[in-house]
Amino acid sequence: MSEDTKSSSEAEAQVAGRRLRADAQRNVGSLIQTASEVFAEAGVDVPIREIADRAGVGVGTLYRHFPTRSDLVVAVFRKEVDESVEAAKMLATQHPPGEALEKWVERYVDFIAAHRGLAAAFNSGDPALEGLPAHFQERLGPLVQKLLDAAAASGEIRSGVMANELLHGIGMLCVPPMCGEPTDPQRMVGLFMDGLRFRW
């Protein structure tokens, strides 16, 4: 084989390799997005085949990228956290401090309501999921704290509110009541936020 032929073959192999990697990356992205939507609709126990079918890939492709259901749950959760982080950054640059905080909180309430199955998975005892709550706090906590501090500095909420207090309080208000009439999470959290605006 001549040097020119060899170089051409190597170049073609490299192009083919890049194409395969790009296809694989698209498959991963499609699977994570589809799983996020399916988990929101039906919980994390939905049949894996349904996720693969809706993503337009084979079950074998899904298992090649995510050998266990927990691997897929972790990937979905990390995607959701990344999106929440980006939303906090974007809102902080596009709105006044108090409005940025309020809009992010509304978004967070919708996230909790749509992903209750993820919260249940965290308490399943699966070792693969144990570190996810800490990951959530580490990634999102500092940005939420910045939103709180900026709103406090502008005089729109009381000072001294900690990010973990806000996240925990919202999470508790979004839990369906054990008895009585169901409540509207957005309304309940709105009342909670009104409390932050009260200053004595």
Ranking 2-6, 97-101, 117-121, 139-143 by mean pLDDT, the lowest is 2-6
Work out the average pLDDT over 174-195: 78
- For domain 74-200, which CATH number applies: 1.10.357.10, 3.40.1160.10, 3.30.70.20, 3.30.310.10? 1.10.357.10
DSSP letter (8 states) at residue 128: G
Q: Which CATH class is domain 1-67?
A: mainly alpha
Q: Do domains 1-67 and 74-200 have the same CATH topology?
A: yes
Q: What values do phi and psi take at 155, rounded to 5?
A: 80, 15
Q: How confident is the model at residue 172 (pLDDT cuts 50, 70, 90)?
A: confident
Domain ranges in the chain?
1-67, 74-200
Residue type, 149: D
DSSP letter (8 states) at residue 174: T
Residue type, 85: V
Say how many CA atoms lie within 13 Å of 42 toward its Cβ: 9
Rounded to whole angstroms, what are the CA distances from 140 to 161, 162, 167? Answer: 15, 12, 10
Check: pTM over 0.85? Answer yes or no: no
Check residue 22 and give its pLDDT. Answer: 64
Instruction: Give the tens place of pLDDT for each residue, 31-62.
Output: 999 998 888 888 788 899 999 999 988 899 99
C-alpha distance across the termini of the chain, in Å = 85
Q: How far apart are CA 118 and CA 131, in angstroms?
A: 13
Q: How far apart are CA 90 and CA 84, in angstroms?
A: 10
Instruction: Give the tens place of pLDDT for each residue, 65-111.
Output: 999 888 998 898 888 888 889 999 999 999 999 999 999 999 988 88
Q: How far apart are CA 16 and CA 135, in angstroms?
A: 36
